[in-house]
């Protein structure tokens, strides 16, 4: 009986599957874009949960990957999950959690680099550039983009990261960085973790305070852009830069 159980467990190993059914071999043969989310996750995890250990109910890596996606709902949900919460999942130890988080971060950085532009000609371009950095963020994150007179990027500075509903923007920090880079203009960019980019009263106040401060040193506030999941809000496009400054 024990011999039969061992044979059954051994046959469930992914390495014993036909080559055209194994996640890694399928990716190499067909391309990553043809592979399912569960198979991509299985390739990252490499081994399953408690598999083939005496007295432990195990899963091969493909079944384990499918169960994780079912439990969390999606790859994006796995990205948003806290490390300490992932570590509570049976079968996810520090090594697997690190592999998972590293793989997702690589994807974000590749996506961000792919969208790098020396200059921005619209709020849409700026939102597309920064959206990958905000994916999975649970808190508001504020970035100041410093530009020269031709709207070419001189640099950027992460100003602050706050609670899920509000980030405290340090106007002085933005101005100091602008002076350091001899910038002519600044664009403020931040996310709303809710995914909805509609501005709050606090966003209006931040825009007004920053615009007034910029005027004192001859710096132009070109825009304040709020990045949502799929859309964005631009104070400049909505004609509200002067409006917010005068209130």
Residue 91 DSSP one-character state: T
Adjacent-strand bridge partners of 155: 146
Q: Model confidence over 97-130: pLDDT tens digits? A: 999 999 999 988 877 665 544 578 889 999 998 9
Structural domain harbouring 68: 2-111
Sequence-ordered list of residues with C-beta below 8 angstroms from that of 77, at least 6 positions apart, any chain = none
Q: Model confidence over 4-44: pLDDT tens digits? A: 444 344 456 777 788 778 888 989 999 888 889 999 999 99
Looking up residue 238, the CATH number of its domain turns out to be 3.40.140.10
Joined together, the tokens standing for residue 188 give 């403020």
Answer with the one of 111, 142, 161 that is the final residue of a domain. 111
Residues 163 and 76 in one domain: no
Residues 96 and 172 in one domain: no
State the Cα–Cα distance between residues 108 and 106, nearest whole angstrom.
5
**Which residue is associated with the tokens 């190993």?**
13
State the Cα–Cα distance between residues 189 and 221, nearest whole angstrom.
11
Count up the domains in the chain and report the number. Answer: 2
Strands 185-191 and 141-147: antiparallel
Looking up residue 79, the CATH number of its domain turns out to be 1.10.150.20
């Amino acid at each position: 009986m024990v011999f039969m159980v061992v044979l059954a467990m051994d046959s469930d190993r992914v390495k014993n599957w036909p080559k055209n059914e194994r996640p890694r071999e399928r990716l190499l043969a067909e391309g990553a874009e043809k592979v399912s989310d569960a198979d991509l996750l299985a390739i990252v995890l490499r081994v399953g949960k408690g598999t083939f250990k005496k007295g432990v109910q195990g899963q091969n890596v493909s079944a384990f990957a499918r169960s994780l996606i079912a439990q969390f709902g999606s790859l994006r949900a796995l990205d948003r999950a806290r490390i300490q919460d992932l570590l509570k999942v049976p079968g996810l130890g520090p090594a697997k959690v690190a592999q998972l988080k590293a793989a997702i971060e690589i994807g974000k950085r590749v996506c961000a680099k792919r969208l790098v532009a020396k200059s921005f000609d619209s709020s849409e371009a700026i939102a597309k550039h920064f959206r990958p950095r905000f994916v999975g963020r649970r808190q508001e994150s504020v970035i100041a983009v410093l530009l020269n007179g031709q709207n070419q990027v001189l640099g950027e500075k992460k100003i602050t990261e706050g609670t899920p509903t509000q980030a405290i923007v340090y106007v002085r920090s933005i101005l100091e960085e602008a002076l350091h880079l001899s910038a002519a203009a600044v664009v403020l960019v931040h996310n709303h973790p809710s995914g909805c980019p509609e501005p709050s009263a606090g966003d209006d106040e931040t825009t007004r305070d920053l615009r007034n401060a910029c005027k004192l040193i001859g710096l132009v506030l070109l825009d304040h852009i709020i990045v949502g999941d799929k859309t964005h809000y631009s104070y400049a496009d909505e004609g509200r830069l002067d409006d917010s400054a005068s209130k």
